[in-house]
Amino acid sequence: MKKTGEVPLGRVLLFVAIALGGALFDLWTKSAIFASVGEPGSPSRSIVPDILELRTSYNTGALWGFMRTVPWAATMFAVLSVVASVGIVVWLFFFRAAKDRRLTIALALIMAGAIGNCYDRLMYGRVRDFVYFHVDKIKFECAIFNFADNMLVLGALMLMFIALKPEAVATPESTPAISEEAAPVS
C-alpha cells in the first residue's frame, strides 16, 4: 500500500527513462557523428545548405564554450555535474518533488544532458560537439552544440515555465463543502 506523499513508481521510471535514455542517445550520436564525419578539422557535412551542418568540435568549457580558456574547466564542470545530479535526485525523490510530473521531466532532461557532457569531460577531458546551426543570408551563427546541450536548455526552459505557471493545488477553500442537507445521516 502506498504511503501518503510517496513518489509514485511511475514517476521514478519516467525520470530514469528520460535521464538514461537521453544520455545514451547523446553519447550514441556523438560517437556516430565523430566516427562518420571525423575529428575536428575534417570537412563538415551539410544537412541543410547554408543553415545546418555536422561539424565536429571539442569544447573544454560549458554550454556555448563558456570558460573554455580556463585550464581546469573540464574538471570543474564535471564536478559541478555530479553535484547537480545528486542534488536533483535528492530533491525529486527524498523531498518528493517528483510528485510534480512537469518538474520530473524538466529535471530528467537536465540530468540527461549533465550525464552526457560529464561522461565526455571525464573520458576525453572535453565535450564532443557536432551540430552547427547558422543562417548565412543574415550572417547568424550559433555555437556548435550536441544533444546534451539541447536537453540542458530544454530542461532549464521548462523550469522557467513551471516557475512562472505553477500547477494549481487544491486547497480547502477551493474544495466544495458538503452541505448539511446532502451529508449522509449516521
Query: Looking at the annotation, which residues are catalytic?
Result: 129, 149
End-to-end CA distance of the chain: 29
- What span, in angstroms and rounded, lies between the C-alpha atoms of 122 and 111? 16
Exposed / middle / buried, residue 150 (Cβ in 10 Å: 0-12, 13-18, 19+): middle
Q: Please tell me whether residue 85 adopts helix, strand or coil conformation.
A: helix
- What span, in angstroms and rounded, lies between the C-alpha atoms of 110 and 153? 8
The three grid cell numbers given for residue 137, joined into one nine-digit string:
543570408
Exposed / middle / buried, residue 102 (Cβ in 10 Å: 0-12, 13-18, 19+): middle
C-alpha 66: how far from chain center: 18
